[in-house]
Structure 1
Amino acid sequence: MAFYLAIEGADGAGKGTASAALVQHLVAGGRRAALVSFPRYADTVGGFAIGEFLAGRMGRAVTPQAAAVLYALDRFESRDRLQALAAENDVLVFDRYLASNMAYQGAQVESDTAPELMNWIAELETGSFGLRLPDRSVFLDTPAAVSRRFIAQKHQRSYTDRTFDEYEADDGLQDRVRANYRRLASAEPSRWQVVATTINDQPRAPADIAGEIAAALPR
């Protein structure tokens, strides 16, 4: 059964680039590895609904609880695919996984109610929807100014033609998301790895980031 490795971080942290570089690094080193990116906008009902929401086309307010269900539904609908990939590979790399739902939705409520909501989301995903916990999560720690620059440089997304989606446009939200990730990582240091993606506010090479993550994996 594959090792589940989740790459996490706020928007513009370089998760997609780092995840792809990590899979390439692992395969070059002789491991079987595959990449799954969430949300799966074109493949699931949950993913499609998330795309409509992030593009501002939902037409009604979406509560953090409702958004959490959509993100969890996207993964629930993907379970068969994940199980098939896990049977065929040594490492399954996720560009966003369970913690992203917790960090983002927890950032949209008052700080004193965030822990309760994040615990509810964890139970929804792993309990009600039966999703497997990651064996390790990696927090790509990226300064806010660098993240903003990276978002503006993103290629066209399948779900929107806007430069910033509903989450990316909210700088305060992104700061709270980073804080939530740091709390999650500090609460379970044995299950998390924190990786700085910049040196003196200059981005590190994706291959260097991938190498640091891979070096910490069990053989």
Structure 2
Amino acid sequence: MGFLLAIEGADGAGKATASALVVEQLLAAGRSACVISFPRYTETVGGWALGAMLAGTLPRPVSPKAAATLYALDRMESRGVLMAALDAHEVVVFDRYIASNMAYQAAQVPADEAGAMMEWIAALETGAFALPAPNLSIYLDTPADIARGLILKKRKRSYTDDTFDAYEADTGLQDRVRANYAAMTQGRVLGEWLRVSTVKNGASRPPADIAAEIVAAL
């Protein structure tokens, strides 16, 4: 079975770019690798519902636990694809994985409930839905102002025409998500973590350099 590498971070951290470049560098080094991005908005029921939620088109509000279940459902529906990729490749890179669900949903409950929410999500995804924990998770640490600028450069999403989706538009939520990721990194939640700063001397690092640091860690 292949090595499962999860690329994590708040919105605008550069996860998709880093994931693609990590695979590109691994392939150039003669290793077998691929990327799977979550949510899979157009390929699962959970992904479709998440797209509608983030676009603000669902007919009623979604509680943090309900949202967490939808994110987990998207991965549960994708488990066959996930396991086939791990069987076929030396390294499978996930652009967002279980920790993303934990960071975002714990950011939407009172602070004294955040720990219990994270534990509940981890048990749902790795227990009830039997999803494998990552071998290594990467936290792309990106300051909020730089991340917001990167969001503005994103290509059009399949689920919304808006510049920012519901999560991206909430700056307070994004700050709490960053704090949750930092705590998970320090506490080695779900296994081993590596923090990678995407900024040096106040400016964004070249994406290829960020990817090279991740590949070196492998």
Check whether TM > 0.5.
yes
Counterpart residue number, 2:107? 107
Superposed displacement of residue 111, structure 1: 0.7
Counterpart residue number, 2:206? 205
Superposed displacement of residue 201, structure 1: 2.6
Where structure 2 has 5 or more consecutive residues not aligned to the other structure, the ranges are none
User: What is the distance in 2 between the residues matched to 1:199 and 1:118?
Assistant: 31
User: What is the distance in 2 between the residues matched to 1:192 and 1:111?
Assistant: 23
1:95 has 2:110 as partner: no
- Structure 1: which 4+ aligned runs deviate by more than 6 Å? none
Where structure 1 has 5 or more consecutive residues not aligned to the other structure, the ranges are none
Counterpart residue number, 1:143? 143
User: What is the distance in 2 between the residues matched to 1:175 and 1:7?
Assistant: 18
Superposed displacement of residue 52, structure 1: 0.3
Counterpart residue number, 2:195? 194
Counterparts of 1:17-166 in structure 2, within 5 Å, are: 17-166=17-166
Amino acid across the alignment from 1:210: A
After TM superposition, the score normalised by the length of structure 1 is: 0.98
Identity across aligned pairs (percent)?
59
User: What is the distance in 2 between the residues matched to 1:127 and 1:188?
Assistant: 18
Q: How big is each residue's C-alpha offset from its partner over 1:119-174, in whole Å with a ceiling of 9 and x where there is no partner?
A: 00000000010000000100000000000111111111011000000000000000
User: What is the distance in 2 between the residues matched to 1:39 and 1:188?
Assistant: 23
Amino acid across the alignment from 2:9: G
Q: Alignment partner of 1:85: what SS?
A: helix
Superposed displacement of residue 199, structure 1: 1.0
Amino acid across the alignment from 1:96: R
Q: Alignment partner of 2:111: what SS?
A: coil
Amino acid across the alignment from 1:213: I
User: What is the distance in 2 between the residues matched to 1:150 and 1:206?
Assistant: 12
Superposed displacement of residue 200, structure 1: 2.3
User: What is the distance in 2 between the residues matched to 1:84 and 1:197?
Assistant: 31
Q: Alignment partner of 1:112: what SS?
A: helix
User: What is the distance in 1 between the residues matched to 2:29 and 2:105?
Assistant: 37
Q: Alignment partner of 2:40: what SS?
A: coil
Amino acid across the alignment from 1:175: D
